[in-house]
């Protein structure tokens, strides 16, 4: 079974995946799989532009977890979407040293439910679990993911609404 952990940058994917790796799960990082699919580097946005369709088409599924903001495009058995309130996300990204334009772009993507919308376009709803990481620890988030993977927690999405931030200075 391949589980994809996705979400806007800054929602906790890497930290939670590291906890799951330490628990014995096979975890692969998206960034380790996209190198051959980089079309160009967008220095203005401080990001690599990836041929997402070709990457997803050529990706070889495996038994384990893959973590990254594009993993919902892959043929996942289960998809976990991590969410974070946009104002909190903005602070996290600034602390990481993201450029102001990239901070705003990612906070707006979070407010617009971008990862959820893209996930719903690629996967049936019974494979999706969405959780808000704003006020819970990485360990609590990892436990929720593990419980979803084991079937203890049912699929769930659409309970996160950041629309109040759409007109905000993100």
Of 30, 6, 27, 8, the C-alpha closest to 17 is 27
Residue 170 resides in a domain: no
Give the domain CATH number at 62: 3.40.50.300
Q: Give the per-residue pLDDT at 48.
A: 75
Residue 44 resides in a domain: yes
Give the tens place of pLDDT for each residue, 100-148.
989 999 999 999 999 999 999 999 999 999 999 999 999 999 999 999 9
**Segments forming the whole domain that contains residue 134:** 2-165
Tokens of 138: 């990485």
* Rounded mean pLDDT, 67-87: 96
Per the DSSP assignment, residues forming a β-bridge with 129 are 80, 156
Residue 148 resides in a domain: yes
Report the C-alpha gap between 4 and 104 in whole angstroms. 25
Q: What is the largest CA-CA distance in the chain?
A: 44
Residue 115 resides in a domain: yes
* Rounded mean pLDDT, 22-36: 95
Instruction: State phi, psi for 3 to the nearest 5 degrees.
Output: -110, 130
Report the C-alpha gap between 2 and 9 in whole angstroms. 21
Segments in 8-135 forming alpha helices (H): 13-22, 52-58, 86-95, 100-111, 114-122
Q: Categorize the per-residue pLDDT at 16 as very low, low, confident or very high, splitting at 50, 70 and 90.
A: very high
Number of domains making up the chain = 1
Map tokens 């330490």 to a residue. Answer: 22
Residue 114 resides in a domain: yes
Residue 19 resides in a domain: yes
Q: Give the per-residue pLDDT at 46.
A: 62
Q: Give the per-residue pLDDT at 43.
A: 58
Report the C-alpha gap between 121 and 20 in whole angstroms. 27
């Amino acid at each position: 079974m391949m589980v994809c952990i996705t979400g806007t940058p800054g929602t906790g994917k890497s930290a939670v995946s590291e906890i799951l790796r330490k628990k014995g799960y096979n975890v692969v990082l998206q960034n380790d799989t996209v190198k051959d699919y980089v079309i160009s580097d967008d220095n203005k946005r401080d990001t690599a532009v990836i041929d997402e369709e070709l990457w997803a088409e050529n990706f070889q599924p495996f038994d384990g977890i893959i973590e990254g903001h594009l993993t919902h495009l892959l043929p996942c058995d289960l998809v976990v979407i991590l969410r974070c309130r946009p104002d909190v996300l903005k602070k996290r990204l600034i602390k990481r040293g993201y450029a102001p334009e990239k901070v705003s772009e990612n906070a707006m993507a979070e407010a617009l439910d971008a990862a959820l919308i893209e996930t719903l376009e690629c996967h049936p709803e019974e494979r999706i679990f969405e959780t808000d990481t704003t006020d819970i620890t990485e360990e609590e988030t990892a436990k929720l993911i593990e419980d979803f993977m084991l079937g203890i927690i049912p699929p769930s999405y659409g309970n996160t609404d950041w629309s109040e931030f759409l007109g905000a200075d993100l």
